[in-house]
Structure 1
Amino acid sequence: MAGEEFSLPLRVYIEDTDAGGIVYYVNYLKFMERARTELMRSLGFGKDYIFTHDLMFVVRDVAVKYLKPAQLDDQLRVTAVITMLGGASMTMEQAIRRDNEVLARGQVTIACVERAGVRPRRLPEDMRERLAPLAR
């Protein structure tokens, strides 16, 4: 289904916050990373697949807009939607929500690279075939 949104629920713990009980800004990136990882895992591209195919994904570009703070014990929902699928990269739009309120929005481009030399490589064809219908 084109533009399908993946959603990951998570809770804010004390380790995610600063001294004021507000989520520390870099942790929003960690939350987004978890959603991207779980999206790929849900499609059959977990660590076993990644290691078997001698590849890894690295963040090439990221932009985040922080709108409202998340706080200790909040129940959040982190989403990811593939918006662009290239030969060796993909871009995802991501959001972090508390109920229906958007707390942060991000756009992340990840590149597929070979593990050994960390050089760009094309997405494996079976991965591309599974991801293509999901891209907006």
Structure 2
Amino acid sequence: MKNIHRLKVAFGDTDAAGIVFYPNFYRWMDQAAHELIGAAVLPVSKLQTERQIILPLLETFCQFKSPLFFEDLVEVHSEVVEMKEKVMKIEHVFKRGDHIVASGYEVRAWTSTESGTPKAVPVPDDVRSALGHGPDGQ
């Protein structure tokens, strides 16, 4: 499953040079991942409260190709590109129009808090299917 998160760059997202300050790309990847999971499975807030599941980050990466500026309209195209037993890799591509301005990924663990201590657990088959990956991870 693919999801598109749309945003407009706010003045507070930029630095003294007038371009988007790089940590905002990571914030937007986080927002886009939550929207993807919410659209495919369940809102992340409900995963936490109803299923005691959280999705902590294990790894992140972002490569910047061209700057974004105040009031630019941006789309973050996100999808799970790899699914392992307990971990998923979500790819994010930032587009201004048809132009790719950045791309990156997050690696997140499907983690239960049921026992009080977070512990990675297998991603359920229904979640795998909803995210476009069968039980075998493909």
Bucket of the pairwise TM-score, normalised by the shorter protein: 0.7 to 0.9
Q: TM-score, normalised by structure 2?
A: 0.87
Per-residue deviation, 1:96? 0.8
Query: Which residue of the partner structure matches residue 111 of structure 1?
Result: 109
Task: Report SS of the residue matched to 2:33.
Answer: helix
Share of identical aligned residues, percent? 21
> Does the alignment pair 1:5 with 2:2?
yes
Amino acid of the structure 1 residue aligned with 2:109: A
In 1: Cα distance, 2:71 partner to 2:112 partner? 39
Query: Which residue of the partner structure matches residue 67 of structure 1?
Result: 65
Per-residue deviation, 1:21? 1.8
CA shift digits 1:60-104 (9 cap, x unpaired): 111211111111100000011211111111111111111111111
Structure 2 spans left out of the alignment, 5+ residues: none
The total of aligned residue pairs comes to 133
Query: Which residue of the partner structure matches residue 14 of structure 1?
Result: 11
Task: Report SS of the residue matched to 1:123.
Answer: coil
Query: Which residue of the partner structure matches residue 83 of structure 1?
Result: 81
Task: Report SS of the residue matched to 1:109.
Answer: strand
Deviation larger for 121-130 or 20-29? 121-130
Q: TM-score, normalised by structure 1?
A: 0.88
Amino acid of the structure 2 residue aligned with 1:62: T
**Structure 1 ranges of 4+ moved more than 6 A:** none
Query: Which residue of the partner structure matches residue 31 of structure 1?
Result: 28
Aligned with residue 95 of structure 1, among 78, 82, 93: 93
Structure 1 spans left out of the alignment, 5+ residues: none
